[in-house]
Every structure is written in C-alpha cells, then in structure tokens.
Amino acid sequence: MFSDTSYPGDKNIVEHESLEGDEVLNVFSGKHWKQLTADTIDYHHDILPIISPEAFRFYLPAYLIFTLDNFSSDSNAVDHTVFGLCPPRPQNPLFEHFVSRMNVLTLEQKRAVKSFLELVKPEYKKEVSHALKVYWIKVQ
C-alpha cells in the first residue's frame, strides 16, 4: 500500500522554507522511508506537520512502523505520529488543512491509517475516538 509511493523529490520535502525545514531537507533528501533509522525518526518526531503532503505520504509508513515498534516507550515520535493523524474540530480553520493532507493518501493507505488508529486507541482513547468519529469513520 505504501511501497509504490514515489519519492517526492528533494525540492518537495518541506512545504515552507525555515530553519527547521532546512534541517529536515538536509536529513531526508534522497532517503527512502525504509532508510530512516529509529534515531532519525525519534529526533525528527515533529516533522509530519511541516513536510509537504507528498512527503507526508511518502514518509508516513516509517513513522507508523516506528510507533508500533516503540509504542511502550516514552518517545515523542509516538505521540506526534498519533496526534498527527487526529484532526482538529471541524470548526477549527486547521481542519481543512488536515483534510487536504489526508487527501493525498490512497483509499488503501487511509484504511491502513484507520487500522493503525484503532490499534492505538486504548492508549489515546479521547484523541483517537474523536479522530475516528470526525474523519476516519468515512473510510471503509
């Protein structure tokens, strides 16, 4: 489901130029998601909101796998990955931004994300319940 996702290209990894974006670009340029180490993901735990939608789609599987492999740890990447898949309330102006990011995912990829959220729901009951009710419920 994610294996045929194309690399977004070096110039399409970050959405906006910034110091943090430059660092992400330096680390992630030319790297396949399968090449990201646990240390890289843990250190760059908060990049999902700042990378481009195409890069989000490409690198998301690495973060999903890391989260499942490190679920019982105190890694910030675990929290950021789960929360990054939980939309704000629909009346929040950022809701449309969330939807546009998720729209780059194929139906099969959305199903995988929904399954991931259902798996982690016991630990993130409030956030994931909201996410499933507000956005992911429509994914069949």
Domain ranges of the chain: 10-138
pTM: 0.92
SS3 of residue 14 by DSSP: strand
The whole-number pLDDT of residue 50 equals 86
Structure tokens given for 95: 């809701």
Q: Distance between CA 86 and CA 121 in Å, rounded? A: 11
Per-residue pLDDT of the chain (140 residues; tens, 9 = 90+): 888 899 999 999 988 776 676 888 889 999 999 999 999 999 999 999 889 999 999 999 999 999 999 988 788 999 999 999 999 999 999 999 999 999 999 999 999 999 999 999 999 999 999 999 999 999 98
Structure tokens given for 45: 């735990």
C-beta separation of 60 from 2 below 8 A: yes
Q: Euclidean distance between the first and final Cα of the chain, in Å? A: 15
Q: What are phi and psi of 55, to 5 degrees?
A: -70, -35
